[in-house]
Amino acid sequence: MKKTLTAFIMLLSVLSASADNFRPKLIVGIVVDQMRWDYLYRFYNEYGTGGFRRMLADGYTFEDCQINYIPSVTAIGHTSVYTGSVPSIHGIAGNNFLLNGKMTYCADDSTVMTVGSGTKAGKMSPRNLQVTTIGDELKTATNWKSKVIGVSFKDRAAIMPAGHSADGAFWFDKKELCFVTSTYYMESLPEWVKDYNKTIAKEVKKLKPIDAGSKHFDRPADMVQYSPYGNLIVEEMAKCAIKGERLGQRGETDMLCISFSCPDVVGHAFGTHAEITHEQYIELDKQLADLFNYLDKTIGKGEYVAFLTADHGAANGILQNQQHKIPSDGFFGDREEPAVNEFLAKKYPGHDKLVSRIMDYKVVINREQAEGLDIVNLRKDIVEYFKGNPLVMYAVDLEEISAASVPSFIREKMYNGYNRERSGDIQLILKPGVYGVWKEIGEGTTHGCWNPYDCHIPFVLMGWGVPHGSCSTEVHITDIAPTVCNLVHIQMPSGCIGMPREMK
């Protein structure tokens, strides 16, 4: 009888534990800035077993994760990953966009002050974001007992993922070489951040100038961001956040949002096939292995869930493509803007700057210059002008997307990327292999277009509740947030248009 009773009590305790265990201790989101999907495999044989290969071996991989909007840029990508939404809804329409008629940096906030340095690097917040994030919903689900922290080299890559109600977002001040935040979050840095900043100050002094190709970097900020050390300080900062805030160790599910920005800095300068890019990923693999090992020891293997993705990919370099007879060319923004204004000035005498700028492949009409003119006809004239450009595949009035003769999947990307209050007026769709350059075609690269090289990104999950497997069905960047939310049993963010993807 005693044995039966003991067994029954044990069974009840197991059932009770499993009923309560519907969330992991910690959610770790990892975004690698400018990571093409194929980087998972291009360097596969050189990766160790504890980083990227561990995620592929132990986790679940969505092999065809696509960005379903344009432009594919950093601020939008980080925002869309964590909101499951698109610029037309979440409001982050670019790294810079129109706000009340003026160009505004996505995270700018004049109402807050820098915390942690004497510069303006901390005058940032998520106030321009119009929807909630995974972290916001997690905090709501636990009556704000959960902690959410964002860490990155770039301000926007820490702020947008962490969301509105985050306990902290920390980014790197390149002038004073330390992590900072803003008074949106707190009045002073936590002691663990202050302590780590002292470590950085010592380590930066040990860095040596970098020679990479034709470029030489000897300024401290450049020696940080163009070397593997830039990613290392973010990884170490993430570990400090886990320890300092006791993330995943307080009886509530917490969230840590990490973004590695330096691959983007290096890619822009040197391109997708440069040795320095190769080195970044080999070292980042080691840093991820170290991070996962730390999580195993601190939180417990199988007690946390981690997901890895990217904010966008990158085009292969124009010079490289041309060398191998692949069609490719540069769209020179510094030439196109004055050229279209010269064309329009002939048609509208006295109006010499009707286009204020071309940003993210969108033409922005200067509303002050255009006052009194027929805007509808002006838009048509701009469309017709760019249709004559041999590098432009389509030019579309963003108020008339439905009438445009473009493939349906490009039309959907335009709809999703167009925020009526914050975007430009005319969308330029360039031919494959063509992307924006400034002054001259160099060895580096960029992104922002509709093509697979910019829009095919990794999406891998590992850990708590994640089976091993892979899927080749097309999913979208907007499916990441609802998939994570469904896994941890919380509501999806307020502007989410994606759907939870089954792992089987």
Q: Catalytic residue positions?
A: 74
Structure tokens at 348: 């509208």
Amino acid letter, residue 95: N
For residues 355 and 382, the answer to whether their CB atoms sit within 8 Å is: yes
Strands (E), 295-334: 304-309, 329-332
From residue 398, alpha-carbon distances to 27, 92, 391, 413, 425 in Å are: 38, 17, 19, 12, 6
3-state secondary structure (DSSP) of residue 491: coil
From residue 485, alpha-carbon distances to 3, 228, 350, 471, 498 in Å are: 41, 32, 55, 19, 11
H/E element holding 115? strand 114-115
Structure tokens at 42: 């291009």
Q: How far apart are CA 340 and CA 353, in angstroms?
A: 9
Helix axes 134-141, 74-83, angle to 10 degrees: 30
For residues 149 and 245, the answer to whether their CB atoms sit within 8 Å is: yes
Q: Is the peptide bond before 432 cis (omega within 30 degrees of 0)?
A: no
3-state secondary structure (DSSP) of residue 161: helix
CA 317 to chain centre: 21
Within 8 A by CB and 6+ apart from 500, the residues are 479, 482, 483, 485, 486, 487, 492
**Residue 391 burial by CB count (10 A; 0-12/13-18/19+): exposed, middle or buried?**
middle
Q: How many residues does the chain have?
A: 504
Within 8 A by CB and 6+ apart from 155, the residues are 107, 121, 124, 169, 171
For residues 75 and 69, the answer to whether their CB atoms sit within 8 Å is: no
